[in-house]
Structure 1
Amino acid sequence: MKAGIVGLPNVGKSTLFNALTSSKAAQSANYPFCTIEPNEGIVSVPDDRLRRISKHIVPKKLVPTALKLVDIAGIVKGASEGEGLGNQFLSHIREVDAILQVVRCFEDPDIVHVAGAVNPVSDIETVEIELMLADIQTLENALPKAERAAKGGDKDAVLRASGIRKCMTQLAANEPLRKLKLDPMEDKAISSFGLLTAKPILYVANVDETDLGGTGPLVIQVREFAAKVGASVVPVCAKLEAEIAELDEADRAEMLTAAGVAEPALPVLAREAYRVLGLQSYFTAGEKEVRAWPVPVGATAPQAAGVIHTDFEKGFIRAEVYTLEDLETYKSEKEIRQAGKLRVEGKSYVMKDGDICHFLFNT
């Protein structure tokens, strides 16, 4: 899954991206935080359940889930019409599954705000307007073709045209598409458009070192706005994260203690982005590895098996499932089985966050 980091110029977006993707804070041999391309990086999603499982099933390695981050060109007013790097930002953001908008919540006379004054809610609205305008343009361009095909009896085109009209009505009311509930078939019919305001969003409040908890007046404005639109807020000090990223473990712990912070912002941000994407984790555990696998909330056991390999889903027979609590109580899979706590689940089983599984399948 992929999340795009967006924001106005000079809000700390690239500073944060560079800190996250070059961080030594949670590097491992399995999923190092690394830059893939100049504007893309992979980060692992920290999960203490891996460590807890490995206390009882000792593996050669731990493998967390991974999230791809994309640093998208700074958005300016008029970006939807090609201002700044508008076309570049549009092409990149259409490919992501969720949006992380970095919002400036700090004052610094040495860093000029593009609008002349720090106003986080205005910044959020500027970005939202540009995304909405881009969506309107996409839909207006697509509607005539869909209507022509619909008149010819193309059933998919009928759904596409209906979905487009509903989206245009929503945007005309100055409401983003993430608030619109389409019929699932209509939603599928327009999914190829990559509509920007339909993507889930998380606000990242970039604070200074005097407001690491995000309780200052600028962050409060963002929290109040986010509450109205059903979004979440994660306060981050990009400057501090950049400094932490350069340290080894001992020095990092010392700096965090001095700053009064329990952990770097990265784990918090990664976990919240994972949640915003509608994902949860299940685990497989053995001597080779203990591994977390991402699966959408509501996925069935065969769909979860398909995350490992498509053949597992096609040939799914059943899943053997137990919980971390079972493992910590009985100490081994053998004891779990003997205690009758190992559940056998079929094709209709809906996965729960934290399930530990073995899948049986035919090839």
Structure 2
Amino acid sequence: MLKVGIVGLPNAGKSTLFNALTGLSVPAERYPFCTIKPNTAIVNIPDERLDKLANLFPYAKRTYETLEFIDIAGLVEGAHKGEGLGNQFLSDIRGVDAIVHIVRLFDAPEVPHPLASLDPVRDAKIIENELVASDVEILARNIEKLRTRILRGDKSPAKELEALEKTLTLLESGNFAPETFAEEELALIRKYQILSLKPVIYVANLDEKGLDLSQNEYYINLERYAKSLSRALVSIPAKLESELKRLTPEEEAEFRQALGLSSGLERLILACYQILNLVTFYTFVGKKEVRAWALPRGSSLLEAARMIHTDIAEGFVKGEVININDFLRYSSEEKAKEHGAFRVEGKEYIVKDGDVVTIRFRM
């Protein structure tokens, strides 16, 4: 299951956002380090295409793809040196697939800012610098280990050492860019769980006074900074979203309409899904279950089969594939087959976003 870590300075609103995302009620107090051990929860990824597909099978179970969100305690300046339990918290981040970096854009005297002033870009840079500094320490330590092995006559880690040294040099100079690395190099450094390799989404945590983004200088400045790093930015009034989750769906819809407020939570979940470079394919089992699956872009039909079940992959014979829009147009499997809309594909076929897949296999 894909994991997304929520990070930020203390009192930025991490636990409030986590509560809004999950409908849970973890502590969200007005003091630093309210969260010590990370809280985790699994949320469904909204999927209108799955809903439409499921409507063709009224009694079928709907199984959405999911993300696991992890609420990681607030980082402070010096975290990579152990400040504020920083080493523990940085360790919690390393196992995630993507990072949601929440930045405070609201001024509230009753919720003290750890630096006693509001400056979203400064705050974002503090967290960024701590993540990079932590990576630098880990790389330097492992580079020394690899150099020692080579000096003792073991030449096998030579390429790995070269990749780590290149990464360290670029991180220290502020020029690290994963897209400039060959896939072979990335494979060598991924096992060290380098934080700088993980995709990042910024969340601008607003209050109700800051919802007009065109007039919000804090948001405009943070947006400019995010664009300079080619990173996505999602605006969310986390406290308001958390409060809306306590209402009935009807009350929530009425409130959102009155405020002209779309669901920032859905936008964030979809942004996480997109930044992980995934495609969605669908399966249906008779009329019992309709399911969405997340697959890394560029994966083969055999890899999709393996995701469903290893036995299906081992006994793979062929795949029957149709785009979901064509399936919906014909409104049933039978009619789609009558019109020859299904294609027979082999195990090397690259699965496309929106494919509806049936795998034929031998036991």
Query: Are residue 265 (structure 1) and residue 281 (structure 2) matched?
Result: no
Contact preservation (8 Å) 1:23, 1:244: no
Show the counterpart of 1:279.
Answer: 278
State the secondary structure of the residue aligned to 1:294: strand
Give the TM-score taking structure 1 as reference length. Answer: 0.91
CA distance in 1, matches of 2:20, 2:129: 28
Alpha-carbon distance, 1:55 to partner: 2.4
Alpha-carbon distance, 1:214 to partner: 3.5
Paired letter, 2:226? A
Contact preservation (8 Å) 2:38, 2:72: no
**Alpha-carbon distance change, 289 to 296 in structure 1, aligned in 2, over 3 angstroms:** same
Show the counterpart of 1:34.
Answer: none
Contact preservation (8 Å) 1:3, 1:97: yes
State the secondary structure of the residue aligned to 1:295: strand
CA distance in 2, matches of 1:94, 1:220: 30
Show the counterpart of 1:10.
Answer: 11
Contact preservation (8 Å) 1:322, 1:343: yes
**Alpha-carbon distance change, 91 to 81 in structure 1, aligned in 2, over 3 angstroms:** same
State the secondary structure of the residue aligned to 2:83: coil
CA distance in 1, matches of 2:212, 2:158: 50
Report Cα offsets for 1:182-226 as digits up to 9, x if no partner.
222222222221111111000011011133364321111111111
State the secondary structure of the residue aligned to 2:21: helix
CA distance in 2, matches of 1:60, 1:316: 25
Show the counterpart of 2:296.
Answer: 296
Show the counterpart of 1:19.
Answer: 20
CA distance in 2, matches of 1:360, 1:147: 50
Show the counterpart of 2:203.
Answer: 204
Give the TM-score taking structure 2 as reference length. Answer: 0.91
- Stretches of structure 1 that go unaligned for 5 or more consecutive residues are 25-36
Alpha-carbon distance, 1:306 to partner: 1.4
State the secondary structure of the residue aligned to 1:268: helix
CA distance in 1, matches of 2:317, 2:137: 47
Matched positions, count: 348
- Stretches of structure 2 that go unaligned for 5 or more consecutive residues are 26-36
State the secondary structure of the residue aligned to 2:165: helix
State the secondary structure of the residue aligned to 2:226: helix
CA distance in 2, matches of 1:2, 1:162: 29
Alpha-carbon distance, 1:243 to partner: 0.4
CA distance in 1, matches of 2:244, 2:66: 21
Report Cα offsets for 1:116-173 as digits up to 9, x if no partner.
2111111111001001110000001001221233453443x12210111110111121
State the secondary structure of the residue aligned to 1:102: strand
Show the counterpart of 1:142.
Answer: 142
Show the counterpart of 1:193.
Answer: 192
Task: Select between 275-284 and 129-138 the one with higher mean Cα deviation.
Answer: 275-284
Alpha-carbon distance, 1:178 to partner: 4.8
**Alpha-carbon distance change, 327 to 254 in structure 1, aligned in 2, over 3 angstroms:** same
CA distance in 2, matches of 1:223, 1:97: 23
Contact preservation (8 Å) 2:38, 2:92: no
Task: Select between 166-175 and 69-78 the one with higher mean Cα deviation.
Answer: 166-175
